[in-house]
């Protein structure tokens, strides 16, 4: 299990993991390199390629644990991580199932959802950051969560009140990331990987998603031969807490019980 754009595992992944563990499933929850409790310098560097490598490493480690059935590893990702599990699952080819929650599936769709002035500022800083990295300079940062017109990767009205409160009180968290990822996001379309996946896939879609628009995700889901979808009348950040969380985690446990049932 791993999180989304710039987030760390303490931002409610423990709540999901506890429910899965209560249902009898072992959970391996990790931070990507450069974030949270994981190593990696410089801090707050988000590389899509490196994060996918982290998924491959996590899968290999899970399979190496004696108490784990190596043939029944399931991938669970949310938001940006929801796109990662699609690509990681397609590349691996042997995972038992995949759960993608409010997944990022299209860089174009998510970029169009961004405030235009914010997008322009992120692009400008991204170019400076990328050029500077070639000369060994410190990263140029942009905010993860911000408001319209700010240089931030997410600027919808529900972002700041929805994303930042997921950080536990007193937990260290940095609301910024190296700007170069803004250039990479546009061309990233992990939803296409659904066409290649042969294991069962559950995609939990938020119909009012302002960060990872549901419309494009639904299109990708319909192309996935083994993909099922559950839709929720919620925003991108709503399903981490409250009644929406209770519903989505119950649906996910039900999916696990059906496709990777526990031994009698």
* pLDDT of 31: 98
Express each pLDDT in 13-25 by its tens digit.
999 999 999 999 9
**What residue spans of the chain are helical by DSSP H?**
13-22, 48-64, 80-92, 107-112, 116-134, 159-163, 181-185, 214-223, 242-259
Tell me the average pLDDT across 109-135: 96
Classified as helix, coil or strand, 251 is helix
Contact status, residue 240 vs residue 163, Cβ threshold 8 Å: no
* Cα pseudo-dihedral 43, 84, 146, 169, rounded to 10: -70
Count how many Cα atoms sit within 13 Å of the Cα of residue 118 in the half-sphere of its side chain: 22
Q: Find out whether 83 and 115 touch, Cβ atoms under 8 Å.
A: no
Q: How many Cβ atoms sit within 10 Å of the Cβ of residue 22?
A: 9
Check residue 264 and give its pLDDT: 77
Closest CA to 4 of 75, 79, 76: 79
**Domains recognised in the chain with CATH numbers:** 13-259 (3.40.50.1820)
pLDDT for res 26? 96
User: Using one digit for the tens of pLDDT, what is the confidence trace for 48-87?
Assistant: 999 999 999 999 999 999 999 999 999 999 999 999 999 9
Instruction: Report residue 197's pLDDT band, with 50, 70 and 90 as the boundaries.
Output: very high
Q: How far apart are CA 114 and CA 5, in angstroms?
A: 14
Give 263's pLDDT tier (boundaries 50, 70, 90): confident
How far apart are the C-alpha atoms of 258 and 164, rounded to whole Å? 34
DSSP 7: -
- Residues of the chain above pLDDT 90, percent: 99
């Amino acid at each position: 299990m791993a999180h989304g754009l710039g987030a760390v595992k303490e931002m409610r992944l423990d709540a999901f993991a506890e429910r899965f563990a209560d249902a009898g499933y072992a959970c391996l929850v990790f931070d990507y390199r450069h974030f949270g409790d994981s190593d990696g310098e410089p801090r707050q560097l988000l590389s899509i390629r490196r994060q996918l490598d982290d998924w491959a490493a996590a899968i290999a480690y899970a399979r190496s644990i004696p108490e784990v059935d190596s043939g029944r590893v399931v991938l669970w990702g949310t938001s940006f991580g929801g796109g990662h599990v699609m690509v990681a699952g397609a590349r691996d080819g042997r995972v038992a199932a995949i759960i993608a929650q409010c997944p990022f599936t299209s860089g174009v769709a998510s970029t169009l959802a961004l405030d235009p002035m914010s997008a322009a500022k992120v692009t400008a800083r991204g170019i400076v950051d990328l050029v500077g990295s070639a000369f060994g300079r410190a990263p140029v940062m942009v905010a993860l969560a911000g408001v319209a017109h700010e240089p931030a990767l997410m600027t919808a009205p529900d972002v700041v009140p929805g994303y930042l409160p997921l950080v536990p009180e007193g937990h260290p968290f940095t609301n910024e990331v190296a700007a170069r990822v803004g250039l990479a996001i546009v061309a990233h379309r992990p939803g296409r990987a659904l066409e290649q996946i042969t294991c069962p896939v559950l995609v939990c879609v938020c119909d009012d998603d302002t960060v990872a628009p549901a419309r494009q995700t639904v299109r990708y889901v319909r192309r996935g031969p083994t993909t099922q979808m559950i839709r929720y009348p919620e925003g991108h950040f709503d399903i981490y807490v409250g009644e929406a969380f209770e519903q989505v985690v119950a649906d996910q446990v039900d999916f696990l019980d059906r496709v990777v049932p526990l031994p009698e």
